[in-house]
Structure 1
């Protein structure tokens, strides 16, 4: 799974939730390898792993606008996405705008997959 937009948050493990378009097949217990980027690699570029695999704890489908419908939920989720709570730039509404701007065709009404995960210990 690519974390191109949140590489620092995965490296410092401040992120334990991610939102994706699709990823409907995931279930609790699945292991996923976090990588910096896996699509659009230039010739000679290699996939760069961002630590050991992560374990999926839960998945659910929800509208992206759930992050702005209840302010306390939105701030908690922005923090879990690795953007710190009450960061001046990443109020829930700004985070939703950023997500929509970086995911073609996405609007606040888009139903996304919310994935909660845990970092596995290095082996």
Structure 2
């Protein structure tokens, strides 16, 4: 998958994990727990897994499923306003998920469907 001109910016990584550790020192839980967040993550992983498939893949169908999952996420998971003020790390993690979706959609359009991808999606 071509990543175009995207780069991960350090030293401010996306806070995917919660900061607190349980009393039993279990691994840190994911910050993204809303069903719409999980569905979007699942669609991204499913689409990326399909790139290695040896069988014919319906990229339009996969792209539509990703698009619908993103719309559901956008409808149900706020980033700005109250969320940004009360839990800025959650807002940052959700922005990271938006960025990952953008990268995958751009790559799907350019690499799999051989279509023009606008600079701003």
Provide the TM-score with structure 1 as the length reference: 0.25
Higher strand share: 1
Provide the TM-score with structure 2 as the length reference: 0.25
Which is greater in Rg? Answer: 2
Higher helix share: 2
